[in-house]
Amino acid sequence: MPLELKEQDNLSIIKLSGRLDVHYSSPLEKEIDAIVTNKPENNLIFNFQEVDYMSSTAIRIFIHLKKELEEENRKIKLCCMNKIVDEVFKITGLTSSFEIFPSESAAIESFK
């Protein structure tokens, strides 16, 4: 699963695609940790538009990341959730725990 990163102002915008499953969770977590470490001033936006599947292992990564960033007074926002990802967040009750935006531009704008 490729991870696409772009930087804008003090934001790291991470576009995910493919399957977020148990096989990709460990490499995904390492890549995200590297982004968080290398850009300690940045807030994060995750774009889920091209995600085909999301396992509970992947959900754990985002829950842990949210807690970690909050301790550092940083934020994580999610955007472009397709039906599959939206359903996973609804079933797990996490829609109220994360700020979720319909578009990447709306998520970016929310930091201004």
Strand-pair category, 11-20 with 43-54: parallel
Summarised one tens digit per residue, pLDDT across range 33-92 is: 999 999 999 999 999 999 999 998 899 999 999 999 999 999 999 999 999 899 999 999
Residue 25: the pLDDT is 86
Q: Are 17 and 25 in contact (CB under 8 A)?
A: no
Mean pLDDT of the region 9-20: 94
Q: Is the pLDDT of residue 1 over 60?
A: no
Show Cβ contacts of residue 28 under 8 Å, excluding neighbours closer than 6 positions: 1, 3, 16, 20, 58, 61
